[in-house]
Structure 1
Amino acid sequence: MPLIAIVLAAGVAAPTDAYLDQSRARWEQFSKQIWGYAETGLHEEKSAKAFEDLLEKEGFTVTKGVAGMPTAFVATAGKGEPVVAILAEYDALPGLSQKAGEPKKDPEKEGAPGHGCGHNLLGTAALAAGVAANRARIEQKLPGTIQVFGTPAEELLLGKVFMLKAGSFDHTDIVLTWHPEASNQVVTRPRLALTATDVEFFGKTAHAAAAPWLGRSSLDAVELFDHAMSLMREHIQPTARIHRTIKNGGLVPNVIPDYAKIQVWLRDQTGAAVQEMLERMRKAAEGAALGTETRAKVTVLASGRDPINNEVIGRTMQKHLDRIGAPKFDEKDQEFAKAVQKEVGAEPSGLSTEIVPFGPNHGGTASSDLGEVSAAKPLAELNVVTRPMGTAAHTWGQTACAIHPLGLKGMDVASKVLGATAVDFLQNPKLVSDAKAEFARATKGKPYQSPLAMDAKPAVY
């Protein structure tokens, strides 16, 4: 039996565990700092700088402003193969500000952003794991390279997709990531594929009272299009989702608008299914334009496919999750969790303290740009409890939990699992080759192709 298997079977601490225990206060403080910044996608200036500065102090070479995004970076330490990457995210969500310590909705600043997806925890655990793995690499004189990817604007499905397009992952062998959740598990269920679009209509202005017959209303086109999409919902798969918001419906009622825009997001289990919906949506836009004598334009803003979860990497993560165990929540943590659950109408069952065994269909369905990374490189994702059972991300409740001790305890477990897993792949070349072989089978050897147009530029939408 290989040494790594003996160590794991015996439950012996990984070389990264002691350092992460000793430096825990450092990472908790860093996470609180990022929580306080709460910057939305492509505007994470303070957050990205904090990550970059710390990594440089730890001896990483940091390439900044990657792929045309000022808040994207790649930090590298070591040389040669294998190249093990850990993904960090740090973007917040609009409108989810929340006062620390409050188990009910109470914005710190009305309308301001907040970490309603826990990316302050996600990014910090990735950072801590990368630093810990690199220290272990140096101490044990291990071959290989540690990378920490600073991937902005995950909520817009932009950062990783543009970094892939720019070649940032070209030399990476293994990719590790995690996400705050309500369960402790390794993800084996594919997230939903997603394509985000703008549908614009162009008409003719006119005085709405004096000469409306001279106008052609782009808002009429949006309404007709939206009705067509509502009817389409009956004729799509139960796994599919269609979301929309009207971004521009004209300026004043007494001017017939010559421009209107509706943003539509399409989701389903596979990228192929989403593409089919997209083609149907294009027909609905053309029909609405024909019926209102306007012109339609459909623009793909971002796209992320359903992830390919690598079992070799996932099982390695699972061994460390089993060894480290669930976050050790105390009575105050459980009381806070139950108070949040009561506030949102969920069963007051508190926080999960169980480890889900490795198996099929574990994980949520929310879309992520990590799906694109998984189509280019072997990748696995971990979930660790950072919010109560029965509650959702993208809410004030997750923002509250992301600054609470319960969230920080989940972050600590995640950093240990990621750090130890990274060292395993530095120590064991066969693990790397096995993960790559599985990836080759899953992708049938097809090279990665970006969903982005050649001239696509990252932008907030």
Structure 2
Amino acid sequence: MTSPKSTARASVAARKSDLSQWTRTVWDFGETAWREYKSAAFYVDLLRREGFTVEEGSGGMPTAFCATWENGDGPTIGGYAEYDGIPGNCQAAEPRKTPRPGLSPHAGGHTDPHSALGIGSLGGFLAAKAAMQEHNIPGRLKFFGEPAEKVRGSKPVHAAAGYYDDLDAAISFHPFYMPPLCNTVRWDTHCGVGYGVIYEFTCEDPETWMAGDDASPIPASHAAARAPGATDAMIQMYQSAKALREHVMAPGQSWSMNETIISHGQATADNIPAQIAQIQYFIRISEVSEAEHIIRGLDHFAEAAAKLCHCTWRRHWVAKSRPGLANHALSAATYANLETVGAPTWGDDAKAFARAIQSELGLAPMEDPFLPMISELTPPEQAEAALRQMLPPTQRHFTSDDYTEFCWHAPTVRLYIGRPALTAPEGFAYPAWAMNAMGGHPACIDPMVETAAQVIAMTALDCLTDRGMLEAAQAEFRERTGGGIGGDKWLAPLCDYEPPLHFRWPEYVTTARGEDWVLPTSP
């Protein structure tokens, strides 16, 4: 009889065609945050056909789910799919810049790509399930659908609602996205805090703007000066917040704050002020206290902008995700599995597609067009040392991703597998469409999905069968949290808000013209 891990790896190999087709299906959907209706339905249907019990709309989020499969009493292992893309990245799986057929280039598309992230994770859990059945391994698999990761949407909500509290271990996977985190696991420096917030300005009483005894009796007078309106307040907020970085943080701190206009205007007459405007800020930073400090500064700017422009203002939460927590025991076991499987490699079809991209961009096609690092292993301590060279000594976390929510409820590993990335001639930078296109091309993206699925399945089986490893991981979790969930070093969920579903998130729409993006496709 084969070992459980051999069975799992064989299961991945046997389902290569399925994994490839599923990856491309979700990639073609190209749905974005909070509007991943087709993608979530696809996963729910697939998991039910695979024997999972699925709760749709978990945590009050229409495009989230929680799927479970049990094989008797045993540890509960958690994992997840993400499936949101990004507006403005609509790229066909072609070696040239072009949107997917029938869509605007401003439509959604997968960049990381979450399409492959989700199926790589699912493939691992299905392979672990196959091994559990064949070898009668007791335990429980709990697989989540996590929408809106790009705005840190669902995991804080799931965590606050208690969905992770029964996990014995959790496995998080992400395609490689920056050196040195390629074909490795995070060690000490995990992702930091992610805060998302929307400031809303409303011009509720424009007729009282500078009203006096001699004011026009006709509120809609075309000759009267009108209130500045909500758009003016939003612009004031935007300009003021640009100065925030210089004034609120200590020198050397690595952090980012990005803004996006969610909604503006609602005025269609030449003399009516904009009634409402919403601007979103997303903060990626190391510590919760630092994020709170920035929010206080943004609040001051919002209040000043509203007063200046005859508006009122409100703050709405989109996300509050906690920083990550290391677990060396589980991470070491995962990396050992990665060493067994090996880094992904790319065949002739993938290389031909990559060379076609290079030719399209006016470059001389390379014999081996891919970055060497995507097919090389990086020991976690080596990756950690390289990462620390980029950061101030006092900074504990770097970048942001809400897998960190799992870290406070169970031992969690963060796995990175190489994705297709091209070698660049000196002084040249590839446009974003090139990497996006490879994410939809099976020969380019499938090797990463298959590698991830094998490693995830093997790690899940370690958690189910290696009692010593799991006990060591859980002991480390208790030590780092001061006693586990509720311990004196434990950080409770920060989510104290409802899922932000009702905002004007970009999405696909159906009109008399057919299905389209919110920005209509050009003729």
1:227-238 aligned within 5 A: 227-235=239-247, 236-237=249-250, 238=253
> 2:500, 2:233 → 1: CA distance?
28
Could you tell which deviates more after superposition, 182-191 or 266-275?
182-191
- Give the counterpart letter for 1:187 in structure 2: R
Cα deviation digits, residues 49-93 of structure 1 (max 9, x gap): 332233223222222221112332222222323111121112222
> 1:228, 1:409 → 2: CA distance?
46
Equivalent of 1:416, from 443, 454, 459?
A: 454
What residue in structure 1 maps to residue 259 of structure 2?
Answer: 244
1:205-220 aligned within 5 A: 205=206, 210-212=223-225, 215-220=227-232
Against the structure 1 CA distance between its residues 245 and 321, is the aligned structure 2 distance closer, same or farther, given a 3 Å change threshold?
same
> 2:116, 2:493 → 1: CA distance?
29
What residue in structure 1 maps to residue 375 of structure 2?
Answer: 353
What residue in structure 1 maps to residue 89 of structure 2?
Answer: 96
Against the structure 1 CA distance between its residues 215 and 280, is the aligned structure 2 distance closer, same or farther, given a 3 Å change threshold?
same
Could you tell which deviates more after superposition, 165-174 or 34-43?
34-43
1:372-387 aligned within 5 A: 372-387=405-420
What residue in structure 1 maps to residue 125 of structure 2?
Answer: 130
What residue in structure 1 maps to residue 496 of structure 2?
Answer: 453
What residue in structure 1 maps to residue 23 of structure 2?
Answer: 31
- Give the counterpart letter for 2:12 in structure 1: L
- Give the counterpart letter for 1:376 in structure 2: H
Cα deviation digits, residues 389-448 of structure 1 (max 9, x gap): 579999433431222212111110000000000001100122222112212222232455
Could you tell which deviates more after superposition, 415-424 or 122-131?
122-131
Equivalent of 1:156, from 126, 129, 151?
A: 151
SS in structure 2 of the partner of residue 281 of structure 1: helix
Q: CA deviation at 1:345?
A: 11
What residue in structure 2 maps to residue 3 of structure 1?
Answer: none
- Give the counterpart letter for 1:451 in structure 2: L
Against the structure 1 CA distance between its residues 55 and 393, is the aligned structure 2 distance closer, same or farther, given a 3 Å change threshold?
farther
What residue in structure 2 maps to residue 114 of structure 1?
Answer: 109
Q: CA deviation at 1:179?
A: 1.0
How many residue pairs end up in the alignment? 449
Could you tell which deviates more after superposition, 329-338 or 108-117?
329-338
Q: Any conservation in 2 of the 1:125–1:414 contact (CA below 8 Å)? A: yes
Equivalent of 1:402, from 428, 431, 439?
A: 439
Against the structure 1 CA distance between its residues 289 and 65, is the aligned structure 2 distance closer, same or farther, given a 3 Å change threshold?
closer
1:301-316 aligned within 5 A: 301-316=318-333
Against the structure 1 CA distance between its residues 442 and 335, is the aligned structure 2 distance closer, same or farther, given a 3 Å change threshold?
farther
- Give the counterpart letter for 1:452 in structure 2: C
Q: CA deviation at 1:128?
A: 1.2
What residue in structure 1 maps to residue 197 of structure 2?
Answer: 197
Q: CA deviation at 1:332?
A: 4.0
> 2:80, 2:363 → 1: CA distance?
31
SS in structure 2 of the partner of residue 19 of structure 1: helix
Q: Any conservation in 2 of the 1:224–1:288 contact (CA below 8 Å)? A: yes
What residue in structure 2 maps to residue 82 of structure 1?
Answer: 75
CA RMSD of aligned residues (A): 3.0
Q: Any conservation in 1 of the 2:75–2:464 contact (CA below 8 Å)? A: yes
Identity of aligned residues (%): 28
Q: CA deviation at 1:388?
A: 0.5
- Give the counterpart letter for 1:144 in structure 2: G
- Give the counterpart letter for 1:51 in structure 2: Y
SS in structure 2 of the partner of residue 99 of structure 1: coil
SS in structure 2 of the partner of residue 86 of structure 1: strand
Against the structure 1 CA distance between its residues 292 and 36, is the aligned structure 2 distance closer, same or farther, given a 3 Å change threshold?
closer
SS in structure 1 of the partner of residue 7 of structure 2: coil
Q: Any conservation in 2 of the 1:244–1:262 contact (CA below 8 Å)? A: yes
Equivalent of 1:21, from 5, 13, 16?
A: 13
Against the structure 1 CA distance between its residues 98 and 454, is the aligned structure 2 distance closer, same or farther, given a 3 Å change threshold?
closer
Q: Any conservation in 2 of the 1:401–1:407 contact (CA below 8 Å)? A: yes
Cα deviation digits, residues 346-377 of structure 1 (max 9, x gap): 99762322111112267895522212222222
SS in structure 2 of the partner of residue 33 of structure 1: helix
Q: Any conservation in 2 of the 1:158–1:458 contact (CA below 8 Å)? A: no
Q: CA deviation at 1:343?
A: 7.0
- Give the counterpart letter for 1:388 in structure 2: A
Could you tell which deviates more after superposition, 139-148 or 339-348?
339-348
> 1:93, 1:304 → 2: CA distance?
20
TM-score by length of 2: 0.78
What residue in structure 1 maps to residue 186 of structure 2?
Answer: 187
What residue in structure 1 maps to residue 473 of structure 2?
Answer: 435
> 2:36, 2:430 → 1: CA distance?
20
Could you tell which deviates more after superposition, 389-398 or 370-379?
389-398
TM-score by length of 1: 0.88
> 2:54, 2:276 → 1: CA distance?
44
Q: CA deviation at 1:456?
A: 5.0
Cα deviation digits, residues 202-240 of structure 1 (max 9, x gap): 33435696222x625333332322222112222235412
SS in structure 1 of the partner of residue 375 of structure 2: coil
Q: CA deviation at 1:130?
A: 0.8
Q: Any conservation in 2 of the 1:162–1:458 contact (CA below 8 Å)? A: no
Against the structure 1 CA distance between its residues 208 and 88, is the aligned structure 2 distance closer, same or farther, given a 3 Å change threshold?
farther
Against the structure 1 CA distance between its residues 455 and 69, is the aligned structure 2 distance closer, same or farther, given a 3 Å change threshold?
closer
> 2:330, 2:206 → 1: CA distance?
58
SS in structure 1 of the partner of residue 98 of structure 2: coil
> 1:35, 1:288 → 2: CA distance?
41
Q: Any conservation in 1 of the 2:151–2:282 contact (CA below 8 Å)? A: no
Cα deviation digits, residues 254-301 of structure 1 (max 9, x gap): 333343322222221222211111111112222323444433222222
Against the structure 1 CA distance between its residues 165 and 13, is the aligned structure 2 distance closer, same or farther, given a 3 Å change threshold?
closer
What residue in structure 2 maps to residue 259 of structure 1?
Answer: 276
> 1:132, 1:161 → 2: CA distance?
28
What residue in structure 2 maps to residue 66 of structure 1?
Answer: 58
> Which runs of 5 or more residues in structure 1 are unaligned?
1-6
- Give the counterpart letter for 1:184 in structure 2: N
Could you tell which deviates more after superposition, 203-212 or 63-72?
203-212
1:367 aligned to 2:366?
Answer: no
Against the structure 1 CA distance between its residues 172 and 459, is the aligned structure 2 distance closer, same or farther, given a 3 Å change threshold?
farther
Equivalent of 2:300, from 268, 283, 298?
A: 283
1:46 aligned to 2:38?
Answer: yes
- Give the counterpart letter for 2:459 in structure 1: T
> 1:458, 1:202 → 2: CA distance?
19
| Larger Rg computed on CA atoms | 2
Q: Any conservation in 1 of the 2:5–2:461 contact (CA below 8 Å)? A: no
SS in structure 2 of the partner of residue 215 of structure 1: coil
Q: Any conservation in 1 of the 2:58–2:64 contact (CA below 8 Å)? A: yes
